[in-house]
């Protein structure tokens, strides 16, 4: 089978697994108070050029989003996000379950615009409505599109105008950073976001996400919130151990680039055959439109997800490449098509 279902179907990049093997018998302090996490925190502060940032170690993305947003918002405050966003559609209402409304705005390309934020803020204009306080975006977006640096700068300016926090979900930050359409460095994320996370699970780690809190107002007692939510990991050293090599010598960006290159090769070869895409292919997740008949045939040899039934005999499907995908996977799929 050709595996294009997601970017976390295999273990970890060999360098990361090797680090885990090498340090398997290194006795460590618990709950991220170990030397691996301390070293990785220092490495991250240097990479993002922000010596005062706080860094926290999480096991997964939903957990990171849920803990952050519930910690950053007061009880009556709400988060603004795209209607296709991960928190909007793929977290089983995790944010709403913490008592906070997600104000979801329409989006054809997975992104939100400053004008939409302006509109939401203007609409929520008295104390019988929730108070918007955080803008949530992910880069890459849930539909594989990319926010450029200019777009994130515009959202930052909009957040400043309204006194909102900007929180960036970087589950696939490696792919965003590797994209020529993005132009964001680690330091740019620290300069433009109040908090963001550097994704590991989908970017070659065995598991784990690194949350970076830049804004001092969001830092106090954060470990208490993590612990109360079951998110302070006893074996936190395993996350620190993985991110050391992942963030060293450009490996993170290389893995993102590898995944993007294969997906975009597939997209251009499909486009040459006349296939259309639901969203502009920009990163490692692409969403071609195929007939149901073709989808059924492909499913015999390819593992992929169906995203929507378009109701006209066609399906929008999702092909995802990862750090571990190969050119043979892509050539094999193109041959089948």
**Which residues contact ligand PLP by CB under 6 A?**
60-62, 86, 138, 142, 169, 171, 201
Distance CA 157, CA 86 (A): 23
List C-alpha distances in Å: 250 to 15, 113, 222, 301.
Answer: 13, 31, 29, 34
Q: Which is nearer to ligand PLP, 79 or 171 (CB)?
A: 171
* Closest approach of ligand PLP to the CB of residue 127, in Å: 32
Which residues lie below 8 Å from residue 308, measured CB to CB, with a gap of 6+?
278, 315, 316
* Closest approach of ligand PLP to the CB of residue 169, in Å: 5
Q: Which is nearer to ligand PLP, 196 or 222 (CB)?
A: 196
Q: Which is nearer to ligand PLP, 167 or 314 (CB)?
A: 167
Q: Which is nearer to ligand PLP, 121 or 203 (CB)?
A: 203
Contact between residue 11 and residue 311 where contact means Cβ atoms under 8 Å apart: no
Give the CA count within 13 Å in the CB-facing half-sphere of 316.
13
Q: Which is nearer to ligand PLP, 41 or 138 (CB)?
A: 138
Region of 225 please: left (phi>0), alpha (psi -120 to 50) or beta: alpha
314: β partners: 291
Cis bond before residue 140 (omega within 30° of 0):
yes
| Structure-token match 């200019």, residue found | 150
Give the CA count within 13 Å in the CB-facing half-sphere of 118.
8
Q: Which is nearer to ligand PLP, 116 or 285 (CB)?
A: 285
Distance CA 48, CA 213 (A): 11
Q: Which is nearer to ligand PLP, 40 or 62 (CB)?
A: 62
User: What are the strands, taking DSSP E only, across the chain?
Assistant: 2-3, 54-58, 77-82, 102-105, 131-138, 165-169, 195-199, 209-213, 285-286, 289-291, 302-303, 305-309, 314-320
Instruction: Using CB positions, name the residue nearest to ligand PLP.
Output: 61
Distance CA 259, CA 242 (A): 19
Q: Which is nearer to ligand PLP, 121 or 171 (CB)?
A: 171
List C-alpha distances in Å: 14 to 19, 174, 266.
Answer: 9, 17, 25
């Amino acid at each position: 089978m050709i595996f294009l279902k997601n970017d976390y179907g295999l273990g970890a990049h060999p360098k990361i697994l090797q680090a885990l093997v090498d340090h398997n018998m290194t006795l460590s302090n618990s709950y991220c108070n170990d030397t691996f996490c301390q070293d990785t925190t220092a490495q991250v502060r240097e990479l993002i050029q922000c010596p005062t940032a706080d860094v926290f170690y999480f096991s997964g993305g939903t957990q990171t989003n849920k803990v952050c947003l519930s910690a950053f918002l007061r009880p009556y405050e709400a988060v603004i996000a795209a209607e296709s966003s991960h928190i909007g559609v793929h977290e089983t209402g995790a944010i709403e379950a913490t008592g906070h409304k997600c104000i979801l705005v329409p989006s054809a390309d997975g992104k939100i615009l400053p004008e939409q934020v302006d509109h939401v803020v203007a609409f929520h204009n008295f104390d019988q409505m929730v108070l918007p306080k955080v803008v949530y975006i992910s880069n890459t977006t849930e539909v594989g599109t990319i926010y450029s640096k200019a777009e994130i700068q515009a959202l930052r300016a909009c957040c400043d105008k309204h006194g909102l926090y900007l929180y960036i979900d970087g589950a696939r930050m490696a792919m965003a950073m590797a994209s020529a359409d993005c132009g964001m460095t680690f330091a740019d994320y620290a300069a433009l976001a109040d908090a963001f996370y550097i994704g590991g699970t989908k970017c070659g780690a065995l598991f784990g996400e690194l949350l970076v809190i830049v804004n001092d107002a969001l830092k106090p007692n954060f470990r208490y919130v993590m612990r109360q939510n079951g998110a302070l990991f006893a074996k936190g050293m395993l996350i620190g151990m993985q991110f050391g090599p992942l963030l060293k010598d450009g490996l993170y960006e290389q893995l993102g680039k590898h995944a993007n290159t294969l997906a975009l090769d597939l997209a251009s070869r499909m486009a040459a055959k006349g296939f259309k895409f639901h969203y502009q292919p920009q990163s490692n997740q692409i969403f071609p439109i195929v007939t149901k008949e073709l989808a059924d045939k492909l499913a015999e040899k390819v593992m992929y997800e169906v995203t929507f039934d378009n109701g006209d005999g066609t399906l929008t499907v999702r092909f995802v490449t990862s750090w571990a995908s190969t050119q043979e996977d892509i050539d094999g799929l193109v041959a089948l098509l």
